[in-house]
Amino acid sequence: MRVILSGGGTGGHIYPAISIANKIKEKHPNAEILFIGTEKGMESDIVPKAGYSIKFVTVSYLKRKISLHNIKSAGMLFKGILEARKIIKDFRPDIVIGTGGFVCGPVVYMASKLGIKTIIHEQNVFPGLTNRILDKYVDKIALSFKEAEKYFKSKNKLVVTGNPIRGEFFNVTEEEAKEKYGIKSNLPIVLVVGGSGGALKINNTVVEMLKLYKPKNFKIILVTGKRLYKNTTENINKEDLANNHEILPYINDMPYALKACDLIVCSAGAITIAEVTAVGKSAILIPKAHTAENHQEYNANAMGSKGAAVVIREDELNGEVLNRQIGKILNNKDTLKSMEAASRKEGITDAADRIYKEIESLLNKH
Ligand SMILES: CC(=O)N[C@H]1[C@@H](OP(=O)(O)OP(=O)(O)OC[C@H]2O[C@@H](n3ccc(=O)[nH]c3=O)[C@H](O)[C@@H]2O)O[C@H](CO)[C@@H](O)[C@@H]1O
């Protein structure tokens, strides 16, 4: 079995591609797998570390308005298409899988033109531009949220598979998680995380809340993101962190941290939501403002409308609002339980298997 995977730019597009590659390797240890990305994207670092080969093509992002930049980009896109064509022809894949980001545009498009089977995977409720363009060229479209169906035209190609996440999320128990985090008291734990890079607005709001209220009924673990750690900790002193509140730059063992908490306050990235629902935790979702086409708000609202999360927009967020919302959820066991149940109901725990099944059925189709 020969497979090309392409997706890039941010971790949100790359990690699902790696999970799919791992699943293929588990089922077919002899499978030949090649990634195609860009040299500038995070994939050039992450993919080799995950043990896979990667080749690069030229792409440039398109601005959403007509501009000189876009004329240049169109030229680079043409170059990228020719480069992708050469790599695909040399590698001769049985299937090409795209997981979003501009780079998978030329790769998946060219594969479909060469008559090779193609699948794209969309992580968000509101699909990215590249996947919306690829809609008509591909054989299958794997969705993470049912709510994404309405944004694709080729209804017969759609299948809801969920977002593949790390296996550890299913193997850790709450007891093991609390032990690892050294949590001995019965105080509820509120984990606060603004996605892989952290979120400035969330960090500043938690600092404001700790200073104003010095909460004693719950313990905060704030994960700032590496880039924002110094700035966040500079704004806070020891008294504000009384009651064992903690501030960390990054968490490498997210499955443990998530299992250990009673409530998560987080931005509305698709992978975070997949992880939160997979373990059935209640959430306060704060969609990051200024993400591409405001896609985090669509993710958050999908959870909010099902009672799995409370949604607070960044422009409505402050220390008082956050403190009140946390209290409202934690002080009412019924609210907490019903949010957890709604969250668990949305969780898809076998996403990689579901995607693999689609790959297999496409390959067996003549
Ligand atoms: C700013 C932005 O545009 N972000 C997008 C990016 O996600 P981005 O990578 O920002 O965020 P996600 O929330 O989707 O995923 C974050 C991942 O990082 C992990 N993590 C995070 C913090 C930490 O300390 N340790 C840790 O391991 C989480 O467990 C999770 O696996 O791609 C996603 C999928 O296309 C989109 O839905 C997001 O909107």
List beta partners, residue 97. Answer: 5, 119
- Render each residue's pLDDT in the chain as its tens digit; 366 residues: 999 999 988 888 998 999 999 999 999 999 999 999 999 888 999 999 999 999 999 887 666 666 777 777 777 788 889 999 999 999 999 999 999 999 999 999 999 999 999 999 999 999 999 999 999 999 999 999 999 999 999 999 999 999 999 888 988 998 899 888 888 888 999 999 999 889 999 999 999 999 999 999 999 999 999 999 999 999 898 888 888 899 999 998 999 999 999 999 999 999 999 999 999 999 999 999 999 899 999 999 999 999 999 999 999 999 999 999 999 999 999 999 999 999 999 999 999 999 999 999 999 987
Q: Give the separation between CA 47 and CA 252, rounded to whole angstroms.
A: 18
Q: For the domain 2-163+349-363, what is the CATH code?
A: 3.40.50.2000
Q: Is the minimum distance from the CB of 225 to ligand 1 under 6 angstroms? A: no
Q: CATH homologous superfamily of domain 168-346?
A: Glycogen Phosphorylase B; (3.40.50.2000)
End-to-end CA distance of the chain: 16
Rounded to two decimals, the ipTM of the complex is 0.98
- Here the tokens at position 42 are 């995070």
Q: Give the separation between CA 233 and CA 243, rounded to whole angstroms.
A: 16
Q: Give the separation between CA 74 and CA 68, rounded to whole angstroms.
A: 10
Q: Is the minimum distance from the CB of 99 to ligand 1 under 6 angstroms? A: no
List beta partners, residue 276. Answer: none
Task: Give 258 Cα–ligand 1 centroid separation in angstroms.
Answer: 14
Annotated domain spans of the chain:
2-163+349-363, 168-346
At 191, phi and psi to the nearest 5? -90, 130
Task: Give 238 Cα–ligand 1 centroid separation in angstroms.
Answer: 30
Cα dihedral value 137, 141, 145, 146, nearest 10: 90
| Residue 261 DSSP class | -
Ligand 1 atom with the shortest distance to the CA of 292: 3
Q: Give the separation between CA 100 and CA 16, rounded to whole angstroms.
A: 10
Cβ atoms of 277 and 347 within 8 Å: the answer is yes
Q: Which of 314, 303, 308 is nearest to 270 (CA)?
A: 303
List beta partners, residue 190. Answer: 220, 263
Task: Give 317 Cα–ligand 1 centroid separation in angstroms.
Answer: 20
Residue nearest to atom 38 of ligand 1 (CA): 269
Q: Which of 10, 276, 31 is nearest to 20 (CA)?
A: 31
- Whether the domain at 2-163+349-363 and the domain at 168-346 fall into the same CATH topology: yes
